[in-house]
Amino acid sequence: MAIADIRAQTVPTRMKYTGFSRTAEFFAAGGLSIILLPLCLLFAPDGKEAEAGLVGVASIWLAYVINDPHFMVTYQIFYRDFINKIKGEGYERPEQIRYVMAGLVLPFLLLLWVVGIFVFSSGLMAAGMMQFMFILVGWHYVKQGYGAFSVLSARRGVFYSKLESNLIIAHCLITWIYAWTMPMAERVPFEMDGVEYMAMGFGQIPIDVMFVLFVSSGIGAIGILVRKFVLLREFPPIAPVSGLFITLYLWVVWTGLNEAFSYLIPALHSVQYLFFVYLLERGRARSQAGATKLTVFRQLAGVAAIALVLGWIGFHIAPDWLDQNLYWDEEALGPTIYFATITGFINIHHFMMDNVIWRKNNPDMAYLRG
């Protein structure tokens, strides 16, 4: 590909960044990990249970203000003007179908799944929900990492060819599958929110195969990025590129580098997500007639407050009350089955709503340019 062809993939007008906004973007996209991982390795190395426990306690409190709200803000974005979305007012038919499937069909099917768990006192169905959620977590992380890479690159006026994009996407998907296979070699039990499930135990060979694919696809993805910017004679945009590879390697594959750091990964992922929610909601607020800095602030504060309250109810008040006051077969389903099923429902639904919201064909994504 000629240099002129590569330059044609960029646009002449780029977002204007101050030093502060560049720094904030870098840390929000994943750069905080570059600070927190060394700190954890230094002050809470593996083997020091007390120090790791303190980080674990901090991560629980972070869940109240970061992790839980990041799930609930998705509901606000997704179901805003939902009737108009499913009617197709301003949305193409494929987007209309996606909103119907993720907004109506999927939650109904998930609700049937939860009802089946209680009606049949089925530990197997509960374990299946936990396994399904676990599989989708990796997909969600790598998808968000690629989305951060794409959006932030575009805001800098940097775009990628189909070949470049496909190689990076392939590496993301292979990374997800490789990360999922690693703990599945032996048939050993795992526990998630009080529900036990078994690893598939398919042996070491599939993991070795995925490792080879992981390394080779990584070389291809990194190599084509290096080639692109060498030909452009430009330095690659730091926040998008670092955000992508921090997500893939530190948050998905090598999560066991340090126990204390692993406790912080959900919060770091949520910060990355909430940064794009901030860009989206800020752009939406600014697009309204007569918008001022005060009205933009009020709208952002309103979204944040609702997310905090819904997160508190959905992940704490409701499941805690149900687990303490309603009867279920504890021997078959575990001691906190309401917490497990509500968490599973919200997580799985969040992944699917997220897959609808953050698509380039979704008209709402135009607000990211604001």
186 is written with which tokens? 């032996």
| Ramachandran bin of 194, using left for φ above 0, alpha for ψ from -120 to 50, beta for the remaining angles | left
Q: Are 106 and 352 in contact (CB under 8 A)?
A: yes
Separation of alpha carbons 312 and 345, rounded Å: 16
What secondary structure does DSSP assign to 316-336, as a single string?
Answer: IIHHHHHHHHS---HHHH-TT
Unique residue bearing structure tokens 């496909």: 166
Give the start-end residues of each E strand in the chain.
189-192, 195-198
Per-residue pLDDT of the chain (370 residues), as tens digits, is 433 333 334 444 455 556 668 899 999 999 999 999 999 999 999 989 899 999 999 999 999 999 999 999 999 999 999 999 999 888 889 999 999 999 999 999 999 999 999 999 999 999 999 999 999 999 999 999 999 999 999 988 899 999 999 999 999 999 999 999 988 888 888 888 888 888 888 888 999 999 999 999 999 999 999 999 999 888 889 999 999 999 999 999 999 999 999 999 999 999 999 999 999 999 999 988 788 899 999 999 999 999 999 999 999 999 999 999 998 888 889 899 999 999 999 999 999 999 999 998 899 888 886 5
Containing 47, the helix (H) or strand (E) segment is: none
Separation of alpha carbons 74 and 60, rounded Å: 21
Number of Cβ atoms within 10 Å of the Cβ of 113: 19
Q: Are 144 and 269 in contact (CB under 8 A)?
A: yes
